[in-house]
Chain A
């Protein structure tokens, strides 16, 4: 296989490989639209582009083709994959946002989903008749055009929430921060769950529905494909921002804080302000995605914003590789595909075997019940064999190597 790589000496060969892989994959999906493997093949082919020895521009070109041209075509063969891709996109943006907090600045945030919930609720309350319960001078629900106003609005709102929350929390040392963010995450969820009295703002556990879909010049955008493009637009915006941030002045300040707070302070980096920036930016991405989530689901309730959701996004970041932008993207894709696709297909496959009498599984061992177990196993195995993540950040990869070489392990001396 080394030969394979050395064969790609000329750029046009890489182009060819990329074209063949993506085209082939898209074709396969069109032939067998119901096959999960075909869809995974397509996702894999987009990933392959990242590894090919191509210029950044060429890679970008292929990724844009894959996501903006081929994916919608695939979606026309199997609408379901359009929805899956949208879901992947939502989590990619969330993972990228959390990656700023956890990966870049090294702040463990266990309540990230609170910001997602903030964004979702802000839009949901005003884009349903819910707001009519406490605001009487305007008519609700607001029209779908307001969606575009609420995107930046909730970006701001979530960012401000992040600052308000971060001001007390970020004064604390690392692990206390984790528990305080966890606490805040739970508090926000419980408050949303209970704000149906004395004034009915969130409709409590019954949730808010129906929520207006976005609209543009009177044209309602409530088809999966529109959501897909909205999500992709946000994802590319988020990728662009995080890439710019990573190597900017503030990005380097984050890295310094992550590596050594004391040294960073000695170098004149204002700790609180820099940390707050990370917190607020990460939060604002989640807030913006919350709006899309609310519009797409047409229903939200507090049970969508539990602690497990925060943990899920954290798992994406760490599985992908902390501090790595492609890592967060791949991590989010992998976890969503695993949870909503691969494990489900696996259990359906087992169920089919059982129904056709090949395998004898008692009903208590219903394969659908294994899904979390298998996910847990994958998490543990991945962490043991690839702790640096799927696509580690370059800096961190080197750190891990260094640590292994230099320092004997804590506790392994004896």
Chain B
């Protein structure tokens, strides 16, 4: 008992010391801040930085970081220091909500760029909304994200109920497909997209010969592929992410299945080429971003990105970049209008919602009254060889 008491007491004392130390530092900092009239504006990103989806989550963060660094000088002129507050939502709704609660408690944070998973974005955005904190989503395609009509929630990417049907239409009209086998990964995103696709194919009179779920994170799809082999569809449609898609298409080809293979924007990652190797050829995916390396400025941007982070650009880095620019643009407009005062969050959210014809690197952003991007288009890509991105074969 004595030793325990000693332990706890000494721990407490150390803590108290640290607190007073930190407190001292903080107050002086605080005073300085007060003198400079709240000089820091923070933009947060919230995406999975650990776990199986860390690669894409990180590309969102890095994209936002690029935007921030570009705007830093302009904000400094207006008298504000711009900072990025990257958060890890671990692709877990609970963690996302916890992070969101933390973000709304920090008054210097004016906007959030995120999330990657719709399942995380939906509950987190409920929290943002209670704190009037604006969210610009670079990647959440589930209809429900904006269908709740929260004034703070915006997205620059395309909705699943546009993307899925577009894929179905393309399959029927351009590819001449008669029968499809629909596979999804039992996640909010994957199943949501696959369902939208399936609904439209049935409307268009295509035959859906199979509809199966797989488990995200697994790498053995032989069972479901055997079934695909037995039903001999013209095309496989996959609602899910690039790792599963890459392995699946590889295993399908190894099994001698020659059906066409199509998926959504979850497949839009350079990793899928590495995973599927030569079997990637012929894979078609729909996505919301055009090939940014086709334009001169896009190419320059991609090179700059590579130079800075040592990584090739992903579609989601461009989305992350655009989303951050949209948010920063809104804040900047407010700063200019009110003469350098720290804007209120409500105004920031309203200003971001007003964004119209804002040209980013991947898309042009005009928000409608729900917060969806009016200009979001669906682009069709096909891999012609082992290079990412694939070739642009159509848009809608």
- The answer to whether A and B touch in the complex, with CB atoms under 8 Å apart, is yes
Contact B119 A206 (CB under 8 A): yes
User: Please, how many angstroms separate the alpha-carbon atoms of A324 and B83 in the complex?
Assistant: 45
A105 to chain B, nearest CB (A): 27
Main secondary structure of the interface of A (DSSP, over half): helix
Given A206-B192, A297-B94, A299-B93 in contact, is the A371-B50 Cβ separation under 8 Å?
yes
Question: Contact check: which of A206, A210, A304, A348 meets B188 at CB < 8 Å?
Answer: A206
Q: Tell me whether A37 and B19 are in contact in the complex, defined as CB-CB below 8 angstroms, given that A209-B122, A366-B58 are known contacts.
A: yes
Q: Which residue of B lies closest to A80 (CB)?
A: B105
For B184-220 the 0/1 string (1 means CB < 8 A from A) is 0011101110000000000000000000010000000
A31 to B24, CA, bound (A): 10
Among B8, B20, B62, B123, contact of A298 (Cβ-Cβ < 8 Å) = B123
Choose among B11, B22, B92, B102 the residue that contacts A80 (Cβ–Cβ < 8 A): B102
A109 interface residue per 8 A CB criterion = no
B177 located at the interface, meaning its Cβ lies under 8 Å from any Cβ of chain A in the complex: no
Provide the residues of chain A in CB contact with B101, threshold 8 Å: 79-80, 83-84, 224
Decide: A41 and B23 in contact? CB cutoff 8 A.
no
Q: Are B23 and A368 in contact (CB under 8 A)?
A: no
Establish whether residues A205 and B186, one from each chain, have CB atoms under 8 Å apart when the complex forms: yes
Given A35-B22, A299-B122, CB of A44 within 8 Å of CB of B12: yes
Across the interface, which residues of B come within 8 angstroms of A344, CB to CB? Answer: 88, 102
Cβ of B266 under 8 Å from chain A: no
Q: Does B10 contact A (CB under 8 A)?
A: yes
Residue of B at shortest CB range from A305?
B94
Bits for B10-49, please: 1 = Cβ < 8 Å to A, else 0.
1110011011101100110000000000000000000001
Cα A48 to Cα B4 with chains together (Å): 10
**Residue from B19, B23, B188 within 8 A of A301 (CB atoms):** B188
A205 & B187 in contact (Cβ 8 Å cutoff): yes
B133 to chain A, nearest CB (A): 13
Q: B11 touching A304 by the CB < 8 A rule?
A: no
Which residues of chain A have C-beta atoms less than 8 A from B88's C-beta? 344, 347, 368-369, 371
Asked if A134 is at the interface (CB within 8 A of a chain B CB), the reply is no
Q: Give every chain B residue within 8 A of A178 (Cβ-Cβ).
A: none
In the bound assembly, the distance between CA atoms of A329 and B100 in angstroms comes to 25
Decide if A4 touches B23 in the complex (CB within 8 Å).
Answer: no
User: Cβ of B350 < 8 Å from any Cβ of A?
Assistant: no
Neighbour of B106 across the interface among A34, A45, A299, A340, CB < 8 A: A34
Q: Is the CB of B8 within 8 A of A47?
A: yes
Given contacts A32-B19, A209-B122, contact A340 B11 (CB under 8 A): no
Most chain B beta carbons < 10 A, residue from A34, A348, A355:
A34
**A303 & B126 in contact (Cβ 8 Å cutoff):** no
What residues on A are CB-neighbors of B1 within 8 Å? 51
B294 within 8 A of A: no
Interface contact A366-B49, CB-CB below 8 Å: yes
Smallest CB separation, B50 vs chain A (Å): 5
Q: In the complex, which residue of chain A has the Cβ closest to the Cβ of B108?
A: A34
Residues of A within 8 A of B19 (CB): 28, 32, 35, 37-38, 41
Q: Is A141 an interface residue (CB 8 A)?
A: no
Which 5 A-B pairs have CB atoms at the shortest separation, nearest pair first? A80-B105, A299-B123, A83-B101, A1-B6, A368-B88
Given contacts A5-B2, A304-B94, A369-B54, 16 further A-B contacts (CB under 8 A): A4-B5, A24-B16, A32-B26, A47-B8, A48-B8, A51-B5, A51-B8, A79-B101, A79-B104, A84-B98, A84-B101, A205-B188, A206-B188, A303-B92, A303-B119, A351-B86
Q: Which residues of B contact A (CB under 8 A)?
A: 1-2, 4-6, 8-12, 15-16, 18-20, 22-23, 26-27, 49-50, 54, 58, 62, 83, 85-88, 92-95, 97-98, 101-102, 104-106, 119, 122-123, 126, 142, 144, 148, 186-188, 190-192, 213, 309-311
- For this complex, 12 residue pairs linking A to B, each with C-beta atoms less than 8 Å apart, are A5-B5, A32-B26, A32-B27, A41-B15, A52-B5, A80-B106, A83-B101, A194-B186, A297-B97, A369-B54, A369-B88, A372-B50
